[in-house]
């Protein structure tokens, strides 16, 4: 056996470290010393690669050493690896004296001798502090081909077997993962089953992570660092691997920007008959990644794989009480585990961060001017008109503006409003690489398909606080804006995105023609107003003889001030470039939105309003709802109206009763076809530009 100094001289970059040395690891190509060489408790020498957990055999081979050079035991007995012996000796002594309550568990951990430690994997928190380690052993007296053990620090430089309940379960190589995401928020992150696979992908320049014990541990690991990231799950090709993939995907769905599962191709077994099933096997397979550019192949697979959704899950990652797979499992939150927190506001009591807000009004009243005024105030941290002392840190803004040109309209209006335009970005188009055509293609942005792209825009905008969608009807893709179910399915992920990033999303909508409560006047389905936590209407002030004063009024506000609004004018005298700006009045007004949106000549719908009571109230609501649904003389299938009434909480019996009072005319477009309802004589409903 060689001395510690003789062994250290075989390496480069040698620096003294306590009783041992730290050197450049010869296996993974260190640029900064990461290999520790220390004296073992039994007189041997211990190697620990703290960067890539390189196997001891590989380290010895790289510098021309043998087991006999570092161990006082027989050179022919690698099972006596001093790393294993030293760890066992420290564990047995300290666990017995320091943790009597875990004595049985500790003895159970070391009762069956394991094989030598061939790799050590260190798990660290976001700050780089060591939390625990995983050691890999093979083969040993326990009969397993390979074995993994978890260890927690004992506070004295040694290790205790197992992890206690206070040990955070973190993702492997967490500091490297966080650094990569900070450098490129759009980077693809590969989630694999084992630490060895992580290092294999890291050697290719890819970002990879896993959880300790792989397939058996997808429930407890903290996945919060992957929030908003693009994740490709690369499981082992076996039953346990599929369960791991489905379980992780179900946890990441709605948290990550995108979740995909990559399945490895079928591979023949190794020469010794053992199956090839993980990405390391694929990389070493001559017909797999060995003879190509494997990093490019993996990235292409990740790009071409479909997005994972619960509907595409085959097992859902859940298990039945008897151990079999089930289709789904409930996501349960114990309210005792929920930490109460106050609502955070972009505009105090009016527009909340992390929520969806709707702004509706007729064309020409300044809805777009208001949204750009919001953007300017956010970008500068300027106080709100009714909160003159509530200044904030400047934030970023993302604009989706379909009706106004950026150069001749949006930018001049932002300049007039005093915006810091360096903090404002706009997007209306998405770009993707078409693998079939071999080039980049461009497509209009829509919420149905491109929500992950909006999330990337938010991540790329420093301190993003506001997203404006003007008008939201331009970004629905193929979704019918009159179908409550479709609109809810579209807006729910948008609301989750707002909550995930703590941004206020303000969506602009036009108003229907006609009369009725403000709640039913927003264009399209009632689901727009229902999904928003706050909804506002803009209208002309009927009491203003000049016709220049407008009002900004709450239609609803579930979490803030729903009692009063503000008045404003569009005025160019305060603007340096002649563009109108929103001149707010600081004193709140208490005009009701229903009154502000009603015509001066009354309802004029021929319905005699009845005094309050259960039946009259239901009929009044049904009349307002049906008139809004059939505004503009449109013909709607009766079955569709009945379903929409159910979703809106409107009594269908009441709808049928008031339909004759409204003059609804049942029609059939073809003989024997289904009936439609229409209100004859009403003018077409047009949607003019702002």
Which pLDDT tens digit goes with each residue over 205-215? Answer: 999 999 887 66
- Cβ atoms within 10 Å, residue 575: 17
- What is the arithmetic mean of pLDDT over 357-373? 92
Question: 129 and 10, same structural domain?
Answer: yes
Nearest to 116 by CA among 147, 141, 80: 80
Question: 620 and 522, same structural domain?
Answer: no
Kindly tell me the burial class for residue 238, based on how many C-beta atoms sit within 10 Å of its own C-beta (0-12, 13-18, 19 or more): middle
Question: 68 and 214, same structural domain?
Answer: no
Query: How do beta strands 581-584 and 429-434 pair?
Result: unpaired
What is the predicted pLDDT for the residue at 603? 41
CA dihedral of 470, 473, 477, 479, whole degrees rounded to 10: 150
What is the predicted pLDDT for the residue at 371? 96
What is the predicted pLDDT for the residue at 105? 36
Nearest to 109 by CA among 121, 124, 94: 94
| Residue 607 maps to a domain | no
Top-confidence range, 349-358, 473-482, 616-625 = 349-358
Question: 585 and 480, same structural domain?
Answer: yes
What is the predicted pLDDT for the residue at 32? 77
Between 685 and 219, whose confidence is greater?
Answer: 219
| Residue 405 maps to a domain | yes
Write down the residue that tokens 């502000």 correspond to: 596
Provide the domain limits for residue 662: 614-678
- Please state, in angstroms and rounded to a whole number, the distance separating the CA atoms of residues 505 and 375: 11
- What is the arithmetic mean of pLDDT over 151-158? 83
Give the bridge partners for 678, in sequence order: 665
In the predicted structure, residue 664 carries a pLDDT above the cut 70: yes
Strand order in the sheet with 258-261: 207-209, 188-192, 230-234, 258-261
Average per-residue pLDDT in the chain? 79
In the predicted structure, residue 504 carries a pLDDT above the cut 90: yes
Taking a C-beta distance cutoff of 8 angstroms, is the pair 135, 151 a contact?
A: yes
In the predicted structure, residue 369 carries a pLDDT above the cut 80: yes
- Domain's final residue, options 597, 622, 652: 597
Taking a C-beta distance cutoff of 8 angstroms, is the pair 175, 163 a contact?
A: no
What tokens appear for 492 in the block?
């729910």
Residue 330: pLDDT band (50, 70, 90) is low
H-helix or E-strand spanning residue 184: none
Question: 122 and 11, same structural domain?
Answer: yes
Give the CATH number of the domain where residue 548 resides.
3.40.50.300
Residue 613: pLDDT band (50, 70, 90) is very low
What is the predicted pLDDT for the residue at 433? 67
> pLDDT tens for residues 51-87?
666 778 778 888 888 888 887 754 433 433 434 433 3
Least confident of 96-110, 372-386, 496-510, 519-533: 96-110
- What is the arithmetic mean of pLDDT over 430-434? 75
What is the predicted pLDDT for the residue at 292? 72
In the predicted structure, residue 368 carries a pLDDT above the cut 60: yes
What tokens appear for 62 in the block?
């790289």
Question: 72 and 127, same structural domain?
Answer: yes
Question: 482 and 593, same structural domain?
Answer: yes
What is the chain's Cα-based Rg?
33
* DSSP letter, residue 171: -
> pLDDT tens for residues 164-206?
878 888 999 999 999 999 999 999 999 998 899 999 999 999 9
- Domain's final residue, options 274, 299, 330: 330
- Please state, in angstroms and rounded to a whole number, the distance separating the CA atoms of residues 58 and 65: 10
| Sign of the CA dihedral running 154, 159, 165, 166 | positive
In the predicted structure, residue 89 carries a pLDDT above the cut 80: no
What is the predicted pLDDT for the residue at 546? 84
Using a cut of 0.85, tell me whether the model's pTM lies above it.
Answer: no
Least confident of 106-115, 232-241, 531-540, 593-602: 106-115
Three-state DSSP state, 276:
coil
Percent of residues, the chain, with pLDDT higher than 90 = 28
Taking a C-beta distance cutoff of 8 angstroms, is the pair 520, 625 a contact?
A: yes
User: Among the residues of 99-203, which ranges form H helices?
Assistant: 103-111, 174-183, 195-202
Q: Which residues fall within 8 angstroms of residue 293, CB to CB, at 6 or more apart?
A: none
- What is the arithmetic mean of pLDDT over 502-529? 80
Question: 55 and 128, same structural domain?
Answer: yes
Least confident of 99-108, 247-256, 369-378, 652-661: 99-108
| Residue 446 maps to a domain | yes
Between 101 and 133, whose confidence is greater?
Answer: 133
- Please state, in angstroms and rounded to a whole number, the distance separating the CA atoms of residues 509 and 472: 6
What is the predicted pLDDT for the residue at 209? 95
The DSSP-derived string for 16-65 is EETTEEEE--TTTT-SS--EEEEE-TTSSEEEEETTT---HHHHHHHTT-
Between 331 and 148, whose confidence is greater?
Answer: 148
Least confident of 430-444, 498-512, 565-579: 430-444
Three-state DSSP state, 307:
coil
What is the predicted pLDDT for the residue at 275? 86
What tokens appear for 412 in the block?
């001049």
In the predicted structure, residue 560 carries a pLDDT above the cut 50: yes
Kindly tell me the burial class for residue 355, based on how many C-beta atoms sit within 10 Å of its own C-beta (0-12, 13-18, 19 or more): buried
Question: 490 and 393, same structural domain?
Answer: yes
| Residue 486 maps to a domain | yes
- Please state, in angstroms and rounded to a whole number, the distance separating the CA atoms of residues 529 and 264: 45
What tokens appear for 163 in the block?
């992890």
- Please state, in angstroms and rounded to a whole number, the distance separating the CA atoms of residues 685 and 683: 6
CA 611 to chain CA centroid, nearest Å: 49
What is the predicted pLDDT for the residue at 14? 86
What tokens appear for 212 in the block?
């300790």
Question: 548 and 411, same structural domain?
Answer: yes
- Domain's final residue, options 161, 187, 222: 161
Taking a C-beta distance cutoff of 8 angstroms, is the pair 54, 27 a contact?
A: yes
- Please state, in angstroms and rounded to a whole number, the distance separating the CA atoms of residues 607 and 667: 22
- What is the arithmetic mean of pLDDT over 224-240? 89
Least confident of 108-117, 349-358, 514-523: 108-117
Instruction: Give the start-end residues of each E strand in 158-229.
Output: 159-161, 188-192, 207-209
- What is the arithmetic mean of pLDDT over 467-485? 85
Return the ∠ at Cα 39 (arms to 38 and 40), rounded to 5°.
Answer: 110
| Residue 282 maps to a domain | yes
- Please state, in angstroms and rounded to a whole number, the distance separating the CA atoms of residues 644 and 402: 28
Three-state DSSP state, 3:
coil
Residue 331: pLDDT band (50, 70, 90) is low
| Residue 484 maps to a domain | yes
Question: 463 and 570, same structural domain?
Answer: yes
Between 432 and 459, whose confidence is greater?
Answer: 459
Residue 515: pLDDT band (50, 70, 90) is low
Residue 569: pLDDT band (50, 70, 90) is very high
In the predicted structure, residue 362 carries a pLDDT above the cut 80: yes
CA 277 to chain CA centroid, nearest Å: 30
- Please state, in angstroms and rounded to a whole number, the distance separating the CA atoms of residues 305 and 302: 5
In the predicted structure, residue 528 carries a pLDDT above the cut 80: yes
What is the predicted pLDDT for the residue at 508? 93
Query: How do beta strands 117-124 and 130-137 pair?
Result: antiparallel
- Please state, in angstroms and rounded to a whole number, the distance separating the CA atoms of residues 236 and 245: 9
H-helix or E-strand spanning residue 245: helix 239-252
Q: How many domains does the chain have?
A: 4
Three-state DSSP state, 451:
helix
Q: Which residues fall within 8 angstroms of residue 172, CB to CB, at 6 or more apart?
A: 121, 123, 195, 198, 209, 210, 211, 212
Contacts 24+ apart (CB under 8 A), 561-569: 561/349, 561/350, 562/534, 563/590, 564/588, 564/589, 564/590, 565/536, 565/589, 565/590, 565/591, 565/593, 566/385, 566/386, 567/541, 568/366, 568/370
> pLDDT tens for residues 257-302?
999 999 888 888 888 888 888 999 899 888 776 667 889 899 999 9
Nearest to 249 by CA among 180, 306, 294: 306
What is the predicted pLDDT for the residue at 73? 56
Question: Residues 136-171, buried b or exposed e (16+ Cβ, 10 A)?
Answer: bbbebeeeeeebbbbbbebeeebbbbbbeeeeebbb
Taking each helix axis from N to C end, the angle separating 451-459 and 484-501, rounded to the nearest 10 degrees, works out to: 20
| Residue 32 maps to a domain | yes
Write down the residue that tokens 């010869």 correspond to: 26
What is the predicted pLDDT for the residue at 273? 81
- What is the arithmetic mean of pLDDT over 648-664? 81
CA 656 to chain CA centroid, nearest Å: 44
| Residue 604 maps to a domain | no
Kindly tell me the burial class for residue 417, based on how many C-beta atoms sit within 10 Å of its own C-beta (0-12, 13-18, 19 or more): buried
Question: 116 and 17, same structural domain?
Answer: yes
């Amino acid at each position: 056996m060689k001395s510690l100094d003789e062994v250290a001289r075989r390496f480069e970059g040698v620096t003294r470290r306590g009783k041992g040395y730290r050197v450049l690891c010869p296996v993974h190509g260190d640029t900064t010393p990461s290999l520790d060489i220390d004296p073992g408790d039994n007189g041997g020498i211990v190697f620990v690669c703290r960067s890539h957990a390189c196997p001891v055999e590989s380290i010895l081979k790289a510098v021309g050493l043998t087991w006999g050079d570092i161990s006082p035991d027989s050179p022919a007995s690698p099972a006596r690896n001093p790393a294993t012996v030293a760890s066992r000796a420290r564990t047995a002594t300290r666990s017995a004296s320091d943790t009597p309550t875990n004595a049985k568990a500790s003895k159970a951990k070391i009762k069956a001798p394991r094989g030598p430690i061939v790799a050590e994997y260190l798990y660290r928190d976001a700050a780089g502090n060591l939390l625990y380690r995983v050691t890999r052993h093979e083969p040993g007296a326990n009969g397993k081909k390979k074995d993994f053990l978890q260890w927690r620090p004992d506070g004295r430089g040694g290790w205790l077997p197992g992890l206690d309940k206070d040990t955070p379960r973190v993702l492997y190589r967490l500091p490297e993962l966080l650094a990569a995401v900070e450098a490129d928020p759009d980077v693809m992150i590969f989630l694999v089953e084992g630490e060895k696979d992580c290092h294999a992908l890291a050697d290719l320049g890819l970002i990879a992570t896993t959880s300790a014990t792989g397939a058996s541990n997808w429930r407890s690991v903290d996945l919060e660092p992957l929030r908003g990231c693009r994740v490709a799950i690369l499981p082992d090709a076996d039953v346990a691997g599929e369960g791991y993939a489905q379980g992780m995907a179900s946890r990441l769905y709605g948290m990550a920007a995108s979740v995909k599962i990559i399945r490895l191709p079928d591979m023949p077994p190794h020469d010794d008959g053992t199956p090839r099933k993980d990405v390391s096997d694929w990389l070493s397979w001559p017909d797999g990644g060995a003879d190509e550019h494997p990093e490019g192949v993996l990235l292409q697979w990740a790009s071409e794989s479909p997005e994972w959704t619960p509907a595409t899950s085959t097992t859902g990652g859940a298990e039945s009480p008897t151990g079999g797979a089930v289709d789904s499992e409930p996501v349960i939150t114990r309210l005792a585990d929920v930490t109460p927190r106050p609502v955070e506001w972009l505009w105090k009591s009016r527009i909340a961060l992390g929520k969806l807000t709707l702004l509706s009004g007729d064309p020409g009243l300044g809805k777009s001017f208001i949204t750009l005024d919001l953007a300017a105030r956010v970008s500068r941290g300027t106080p709100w008109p009714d909160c003159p002392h509530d200044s904030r840190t400047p934030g970023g803004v993302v604009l989706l503006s379909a009706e106004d040109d950026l150069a001749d309209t949006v930018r001049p209006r932002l300049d007039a409003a005093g915006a810091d335009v360096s903090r404002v970005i706009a997007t209306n188009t998405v770009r993707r690489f078409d693998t079939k055509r071999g080039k980049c293609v461009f497509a209009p942005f829509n919420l149905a398909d491109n929500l992950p792209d909006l999330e990337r825009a938010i991540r790329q905008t420093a301190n993003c606080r506001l997203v404006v969608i003007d008008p939201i009807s331009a970004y629905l893709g193929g979704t019918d804006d009159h179908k409550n179910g479709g609109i809810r399915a579209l807006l729910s992920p948008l609301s989750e995105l707002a909550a995930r990033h703590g941004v206020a999303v303000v969506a602009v909508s036009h108003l229907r023609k006609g009369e009725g409560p403000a709640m039913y006047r927003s264009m399209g389905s009632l689901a727009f107003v229902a999904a928003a936590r706050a909804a506002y209407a803009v209208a002309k002030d009927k009491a203003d003889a000049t016709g220049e004063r407008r009002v900004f009024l709450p239609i609803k506000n579930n979490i803030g001030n729903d009692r009063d609004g503000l008045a404003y004018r569009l005025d160019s005298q305060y603007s340096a470039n002649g563009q109108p700006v929103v001149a707010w009045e600081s004193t709140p007004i208490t005009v009701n939105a229903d009154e502000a949106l009603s015509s001066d000549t009354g309802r004029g719908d021929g319905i005699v309003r009845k005094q309050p009571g259960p039946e009259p109230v239901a009929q009044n609501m049904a009349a307002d709802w049906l008139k809004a649904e059939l505004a503009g003389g449109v013909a709607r299938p009766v079955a569709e109206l009945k379903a929409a009434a159910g979703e809106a909480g409107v009594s269908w019996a009441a709808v049928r009763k008031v339909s004759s009072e409204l003059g609804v005319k049942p029609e059939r477009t073809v003989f024997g076809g289904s009936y439609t309802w229409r209100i004859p004589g009403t003018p077409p409903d047009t949607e003019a530009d702002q």
